[in-house]
Amino acid sequence: MNALAATNRNFRQAARILGLDSKIERSLLIPFREIKVECTIPKDDGTLVSFVGFRVQHDNARGPMKGGIRYHPEVDPDEVNALAQLMTWKTAVADIPYGGAKGGIGCVPKELSTSELERLTRVFTQKIHDLIGVNTDVPAPDMGTNSQTMAWILDEYSKFHGYSPAIVTGKPIDLGGSLGREAATGRGVVFGTEALLAEHGKAIKDMTFAIQGFGNVGSWAAKLIHERGGKVVAVSDITGAIKNPNGIDIPALLTHKDKTGKLADFNGGDAMDPNEVLVYDCDVLVPCALGGVLNRENAGDVKAKFIIEAANHPTDPEADEILSKKGVIILPDIYANAGGVTVSYFEWVQNIQGFMWDEAKVNNELQRYMTKAFHNIKSLCQTHNCNLRMGAFTLGVNRVARATLLRGWEA
């Protein structure tokens, strides 16, 4: 099942539990605006090449729309739509004053030079600058984009609207980026894990972890789990996988990966099949990479008691059913990986105030938001007698529906 179908299914289930009116249910599913633009740039050799850029703005009932921009060959409207909708529920679960959006350009960033990427980003910004804004829609980095991409958007947007650091988040620190943003998603994953384990009378230091995906989120989560005394027993990424039942020395692995660019040949563990990480013997499984990695083929073999969804949509609905029958507790993506958008919100707040925070304040506020959101989810789980995923969806959908009704959606 693709991301859009799964998100719609979760939304409809939440709407049923909440007893939403069918008219408002339909209205909440339809995006506020979908933008599709043609971006033609000269390549370095002088030839012209055209790309298609998208921005889906899903809902703005609770505040400006917020979501990443990805540069990826498979930026398809359906996926962008699902991710925009997911952002609407995610920001509502985290209780930050945003709606959801998502965008992207269908391209292969590896095949473009830095100056070609810059030209492409600037043309895309020129095409959408009057449809985004500090109080309208605030983009952020995503797959294939980074803080440099945000710097170009900020510069191009500012040519039309004057200096506007709050137009994007995930910027370089020198241009108004927030301290702690780099680690935010991984740190949020760890705060969410702590809240969940505390509920079961456990702590990170008593548990073993398997981490699938060792990019930004996976590596920060591993580092912070290791610092808290948790034992990371298996790690994988696209370059390979490492296991060590006695616990991997994460700082050493990070150094090795920085040096060689891959996990393979690390001498503090044994190589393993990357697919085995998902079914490796551990207490807590943390998928941090792509969607749909847990499916009906492998869900029955998962040995972890807890799954923390650091990736977007890593668990297929079919796998969801198999795992919940086994009694596996899943911390859903729309809560588990909300640390990134929460610190993006802090960055936006700092830019609007023109007053920057130190890193300790960023991390303390993040912990406060993640912990509060977890307890809000738990109380809805008790009210509606449902699992954490439906607890999170009902919390998010209910907040957006209430805001929509209060603003007077029928007028």
DSSP 8-state secondary structure symbol assigned to residue 173:
G
Distance in angstroms (rounded) separating the CA atoms of residues 278 and 60: 37
Which residues, listed in sequence order, are joined to residue 240 by a DSSP beta bridge?
A: 237
Distance in angstroms (rounded) separating the CA atoms of residues 155 and 161: 10
Longest dimension (CA), the chain: 66
Q: What angle do CA 55, 309, 109 make, to 5 degrees?
A: 40
**66 marked as part of a ligand binding site:** yes
CA 70 to chain centre: 12
> Alpha helices, DSSP H only, in 111-204?
114-128, 147-161, 184-199
Pairing relation of β-strands 270-271 and 240-243? antiparallel
Distance in angstroms (rounded) separating the CA atoms of residues 262 and 95: 38
Q: Which long-range contacts (CB under 8 A, 24 or more apart) does 203-209 make?
A: 203/228, 204/228, 204/229, 204/230, 205/229, 205/230, 207/231, 207/283, 207/284, 207/306, 208/232, 208/233, 208/247, 208/281, 208/282, 208/283, 208/284, 209/233, 209/282, 209/283, 209/284, 209/285, 209/286
| Active-site choice (43, 102, 259, 305) | 102
Residue 58: other Cβ atoms inside 10 A:
29
Residue 52: other Cβ atoms inside 10 A:
14
Q: Who's near 382: CB < 8 A, 6+ residues apart?
A: none
**344 marked as part of a ligand binding site:** yes
**90 marked as part of a ligand binding site:** yes
- With CA atoms as reference, report the closest residue to 15 among 79, 85, 94: 85
257 is catalytic: no
Type of residue found at 272:
M
Quote helix, strand, coil % in the chain, to nearest 5.
Answer: 50, 20, 30
**27 marked as part of a ligand binding site:** no
Structure tokens belonging to residue 125 = 């910004």
Binding residues for substrate: 66, 90, 344
Which residues belong to the active site?
102
Binding residues: 66, 90, 185, 216, 344
